[in-house]
Amino acid sequence: MTKRGYENQVVWIVGASSGIGLSLARDLSARGAILALSARRKDDLERIAAELGPQHRVFALDVTNADAVMRTAQAIRAAFGRIDRVIYLAAAYVPMKMDSLDIAVSGEIVSVNLMGAFNLVHAVFPILKEQPENSQIALCGSVAGYIGLPKGQPYSATKAAIINLAETLRAECDNHIDVKLISPGFVRTPLTEKNEFTMPALMEAEQAASAIADGLLSRRFEIHFPKALTVPMKMLRALPYGLSLRLMRMIKT
């Protein structure tokens, strides 16, 4: 039986052209959502919108351009009259070790993963505050942001910052905006295809999308999955540094 829960809700997915974002677009469309689909690749978005139905709209976007993000947010509200939920899934990832850090690539990753999120929050915050009913914004962190991992920079640093940003938003906006933190483990996507190591508890993008869609409807702040990975990582983060950092050094890269 098809799950519901999003009937006629306007959901803006940023990062909808591939991976988790694409699977989530399909899942939410099946649950009755009306989608605003954003990513850099307009052609891909148009193919997705054609697949999912004419009620959905495409808004191609470079999240690193703050003015463009602001204009897009305003255009979506003008097109649909409101924005019920905003989900930030845009991400860039290149695994690097600190002794071979590519500064130019690192800057690009920070721009997409972190500054893009700030640009989005800045653009939608006034819109969501003005709406009479409770709205939602969801930011995608990662279990990679729980603790510094070998060969995880600069991606892990940006995800740690997203966790902190989501926590701040929750503290400041809890009365009128529902803030969610999404913390996936390893999910089979074009990004994780770059990994040369065995990824424990690897999930398919469709499984991740279903977990997110269910979690956005819950009262929980953090949507984390799969529990077989996220729970041990949370326990590792809770250990004293003397122990947790020693365990991190034992990881082969």
The order of strands in the sheet holding 10-14 is 57-58, 34-38, 10-14, 85-88, 135-140, 177-184, 222-225
Query: What distance in Å separates the CA atoms of residue 111 and residue 94, rounded to the nearest whole number?
Result: 13
Counting Cβ atoms within 10 Å, is residue 132 exposed (0-12), middle (13-18) or buried (19+)? exposed
Q: pLDDT tier at 1 (50, 70, 90 boundaries)?
A: low
In tens, the pLDDT along 218-250 reads 999 999 999 999 999 999 989 998 888 888 777
pLDDT bucket at 8, cuts 50 / 70 / 90: very high
| Tens of pLDDT, residues 86-106 | 999 999 998 888 888 999 999
The residue-averaged pLDDT of 165-194 equals 91
pLDDT at residue 251 greater than cutoff 70: no
Reported as a pLDDT band with limits 50, 70 and 90, residue 253 is very low
> Residue 230's pLDDT is what?
94
pLDDT in tens, 21-34: 999 999 999 999 99
Please report, for residues 39, 125, 155, 196, 231, the alpha-carbon distance to residue 239 in angstroms, rounded to integers and kept in the order given.
38, 36, 22, 28, 13
**Separation CA 86–CA 42 (nearest Å):** 19
What integer pLDDT is reported at residue 177 of this predicted model? 93
pLDDT of residue 148: 85
Predicted confidence at residue 250, as pLDDT, reads 75
Q: How confident is the model at residue 146 (pLDDT cuts 50, 70, 90)?
A: very high
What share of the chain has pLDDT > 70, as a percent?
Answer: 97
Q: What is the mean pLDDT of the chain?
A: 93
Question: How much is the pLDDT for 2?
Answer: 63
pLDDT above 80 for 3: no
Q: What is the CB neighbour count within 10 angstroms for residue 55?
A: 13
Give the mean model confidence (pLDDT) for residues 202-222: 96
Which pLDDT value is given to residue 198? 81
Q: Which domains does the chain have, with CATH numbers?
A: 10-249 (3.40.50.720)
pLDDT digits (tens, 9 = 90+) for 33-68: 999 999 999 999 999 999 999 999 999 999 999 999
Nearest Cα neighbor of 95 from 136, 55, 153 is 153
Query: How confident is the model over 199-213, as a mean pLDDT?
Result: 94
Does pLDDT of 252 surpass 70?
no
